[in-house]
């Protein structure tokens, strides 16, 4: 499984933005889909896709979000490091300082 590239990763070069196009709660699992700007496809996300400061329950249908897309063996691709586009991304500087 490939390692996720995050906004704080020095090899990371591009985040996507898009609209939350589906929200669902099935069998005790909450998930959704994002339609990336400029693309006619959907990207899966769930509670684990969000950054530290963002709560899945605060996301609304039609909300603009920023995210990183990575490969996912079950869904094709998935969104990680999701946060509302009007919020600052979470940056954990303790990772970078070795603490």
Gyration radius of the chain over CA positions: 13
Mean pLDDT of 10-28: 81
Domains of the chain, each with CATH number or no CATH: 16-87 (2.40.50.140)
- Number of Cβ within 10 Å of residue 54's Cβ equals 18
Encode pLDDT of 30-59 as tens digits: 899 999 999 999 999 998 898 755 578 889
Pair of tokens at residue 54: 């963002």
Q: Rounded mean pLDDT of the chain?
A: 78
Polymer length in residues for the chain: 99
Residue recorded with tokens 């063996």: 73
Global pTM value: 0.72
- Select from 61, 56, 52 the least CA-distant residue to 88: 52
């Amino acid at each position: 499984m490939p390692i996720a590239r995050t906004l704080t990763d020095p090899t990371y070069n591009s985040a996507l933005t898009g609209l939350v196009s589906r929200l669902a709660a099935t069998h005790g699992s909450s998930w959704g889909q994002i339609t990336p700007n400029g693309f006619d496809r959907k990207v899966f996300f769930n509670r684990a896709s969000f950054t530290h400061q963002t709560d899945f329950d605060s996301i609304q249908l039609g909300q603009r979000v920023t995210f990183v897309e990575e490969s996912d063996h079950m869904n094709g691709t998935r969104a990680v490091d999701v946060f509302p586009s009007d919020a600052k991304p979470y940056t954990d500087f303790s990772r970078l300082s070795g603490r």
